[in-house]
């Protein structure tokens, strides 16, 4: 440990951190290129080649040119994902207006005399179908 001082250890840790940060940023930019629906196929291919062939310059130029839109696309994707999740949960759990609840309401209407037995049977068959 004498031949590797503490300052060199700190420098190495900083470089590893920056290296990991760089790859995160590179993958973020590449995923944003593919996620953007306003870009055509040739524009996506051009940005991708630019980012891969000249990675530092490509990512810097992409962030300057299209950086503000990245946040909007992230927010839009998060809202769409959340809406899809909520829709799935409501569909899976039922929103309180399930068949059993509606059959109970129909039975209550029949018992009060508001609908006839025939109307009840038709509505029940329609619900169960």
pLDDT in tens, the chain (129 residues): 567 788 888 999 999 999 999 999 999 999 999 988 888 999 999 999 999 999 899 999 999 999 888 989 889 889 998 988 888 887 777 655 567 777 888 888 888 888 888 888 888 888 777
Reduce the DSSP state of residue 3 to 3 states and report it.
Answer: coil
Distance CA(21)–CA(29), nearest Å, equals 12
Distance CA(100)–CA(22), nearest Å, equals 56
């Amino acid at each position: 440990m004498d031949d590797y001082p503490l300052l060199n250890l700190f420098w190495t840790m900083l470089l590893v951190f920056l290296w990991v940060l760089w790859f995160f940023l590179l993958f973020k930019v590449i995923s944003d290129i593919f996620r953007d629906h306003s870009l055509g196929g040739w524009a996506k291919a051009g940005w991708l080649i630019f980012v891969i062939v000249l990675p530092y310059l490509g990512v810097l130029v992409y962030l300057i040119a299209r950086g503000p839109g990245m946040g909007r696309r992230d927010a839009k994707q998060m809202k769409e994902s959340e809406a899809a999740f909520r829709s799935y949960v409501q569909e899976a759990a039922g929103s309180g207006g399930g068949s059993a609840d509606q059959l109970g309401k129909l039975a209550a209407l029949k018992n009060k005399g508001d609908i006839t037995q025939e109307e009840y049977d038709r509505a029940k068959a329609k619900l169960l179908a």
